[in-house]
């Protein structure tokens, strides 16, 4: 399989700039892998495809306001700082992306407040846009994190050209987000409303949660044609004992097990054993899933519509078959489905 096998024409107007008015009223394309048929529904119709005892597995990561703006010392140039990962809590050292990067060198200082209460010093270059910063802040760790939250804005993807709006703080977050640590939302979960969750619950559908803190790994573009040479950035994952047991029970009972999102699927596929059992796990995953791949846990999944040549479309092609997925994407473009983070959804049975 080559990167170019996953290319398609995506008109710019199909990239969703705003979410649907109501979470569960985005459109839903339903793919049946057995019959290779496609249905067009609304997301709230997802409840019709599941029965009592079936299981939904959610990624409960919570997005933090990871995009900050600082000014470079002396020149005052405005610099965007995108927080990626905290490397050391004690010394307040972080991996970040900076833009424009060519202006930012080791030893430079960035000022984030007029009173100079939050300053960062560049201590390393990691990639062309990547830097390591040490934050200088006179206060406790809790006060430091509160200051980052106060100054940061919702980290909407770059393709969204509009300014961040107040509603984004709520809409670019799943309603079940709990564990802070993501710099991007696990977007398939954005379609679940409280009302829909209640309807699923009343029907007797079970829920389990895992955590994958979405970082660059999920969205980094592939720059090689040979997929075996692409290296995913690592992202942190957690599965606790209780949720592992819920998942294993559903698999043992031969129920429908639905992974909500590619990040949930990657977490499951990282921690499944050869006998198809999930174990409690805390660590890092750089698992890259592309065809062919034998999935061990979930037998259906919910996902958004992804951009051409992305690791995300490759994973769903591994799950549903490349030809069927590329056909479905042609149909999605023709039917004007909305793509990417704030876009419409797909249920693959």
Residue 74 in tokens:
């002396």
The 10 Å CB-count burial string (b at 16+, else e) for 157-195 is eeebeeeeeeebeebbbbebbeeebbbbbbbbbbbbbee
- Phi then psi for residue 36, to 5 deg, are 50, 45
User: Residue 217: its pLDDT value, please?
Assistant: 66
What's the half-sphere exposure (Cβ side, CA atoms, 13 Å) at 195? 7
Check: CB of residue 176 under 8 Å from CB of residue 190.
no
DSSP secondary structure string for all residues of 242-279: HHHHHHHHHHHTT--EEEESHHHHHHHHHHB-TTS-B-
Q: What does the pLDDT read at residue 292?
A: 95
Q: Do 320 and 312 touch, CB atoms closer than 8 A?
A: no
Give per-residue burial for 308-317: e unless 16+ CB within 10 Å, then b: ebbbbbbbbb
Tracing tokens 């592992």 back to the chain, one arrives at 244
Q: At what angle do helices 262-271 and 311-320 cross, to 10 degrees?
A: 70
**Domains recognised in the chain with CATH numbers:** 1-61+167-346 (3.40.1780.10), 65-149 (2.40.10.240)
Cα 55 to Cα 256: distance, rounded to the nearest angstrom: 6
CA distances from 227 to 219, 240, 260, 262 (A): 15, 32, 25, 18
Nearest C-alpha neighbor of 259 from the set 326, 323, 188, 201? 188
Please list the pLDDT of the chain residue by residue as tens digits (349 residues): 899 999 999 999 999 999 999 999 999 999 999 999 999 999 999 999 999 999 999 999 999 999 999 999 889 999 999 999 899 999 999 999 999 988 899 999 999 999 999 999 999 988 788 899 999 999 999 999 999 999 999 999 888 999 999 999 999 999 999 999 999 999 999 999 999 999 999 999 999 999 999 987 677 788 899 999 998 888 999 999 999 999 999 999 999 999 999 999 999 999 999 888 999 999 999 999 999 999 999 999 999 999 999 999 999 999 999 999 999 999 999 999 999 999 999 999 9
The verdict on pTM exceeding 0.85 is yes
The model's pLDDT over 85-111, given as tens digits with 9 standing for 90+, comes to 899 999 999 999 999 988 899 999 999
345-348/27-32 β-pairing = parallel
Q: How many C-beta neighbours within 10 Å does residue 112 have?
A: 21
């Amino acid at each position: 399989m080559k990167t170019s096998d996953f290319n398609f024409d995506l008109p710019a107007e199909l990239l969703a700039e705003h979410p649907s008015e109501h979470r569960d009223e985005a459109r839903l394309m339903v793919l049946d892998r057995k019959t290779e048929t496609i249905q067009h529904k609304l997301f709230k119709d997802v409840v019709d495809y599941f029965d009592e005892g079936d299981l939904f597995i959610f990624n409960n990561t919570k997005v933090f306001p990871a995009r900050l703006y600082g000014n470079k010392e002396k020149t005052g140039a405005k610099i965007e700082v995108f927080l990626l990962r905290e490397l050391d809590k004690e010394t307040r050292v972080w991996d970040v992306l900076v833009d424009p990067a060519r202006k930012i060198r080791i030893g430079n200082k960035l000022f984030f407040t007029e009173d100079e209460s939050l300053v960062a010093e560049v201590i390393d270059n990691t990639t062309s846009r990547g830097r390591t910063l040490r934050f200088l802040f006179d206060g406790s760790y809790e006060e430091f994190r509160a200051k980052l939250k106060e100054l940061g804005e919702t980290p909407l993807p770059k393709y969204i050209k509009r300014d961040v709006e107040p509603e984004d703080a709520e809409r670019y977050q799943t309603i079940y987000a709990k564990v802070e640590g993501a710099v991007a939302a696990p977007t398939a979960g954005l379609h679940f409303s409280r009302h829909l969750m209640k309807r699923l619950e009343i029907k007797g559908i079970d829920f389990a949660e895992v955590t994958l803190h979405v970082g660059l790994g999920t969205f980094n573009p592939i720059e090689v044609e040979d997929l075996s040479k692409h290296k995913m950035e690592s992202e942190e994952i957690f599965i606790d004992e209780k949720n592992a047991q819920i998942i294993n029970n559903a698999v043992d009972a031969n129920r429908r097990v639905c992974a909500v999102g590619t990040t949930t699927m990657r977490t499951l596929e990282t921690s499944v054993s050869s006998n198809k059992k999930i174990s409690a796990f805390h660590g890092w995953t750089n698992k890259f899933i592309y065809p062919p791949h034998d999935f061990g846990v979930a037998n259906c999944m919910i996902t958004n519509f992804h951009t051409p040549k992305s690791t995300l479309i490759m994973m769903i092609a591994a799950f549903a078959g490349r030809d069927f997925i590329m056909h479905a994407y042609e149909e999605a473009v023709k039917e004007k489905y909305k793509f990417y983070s704030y876009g419409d959804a797909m249920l693959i049975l």
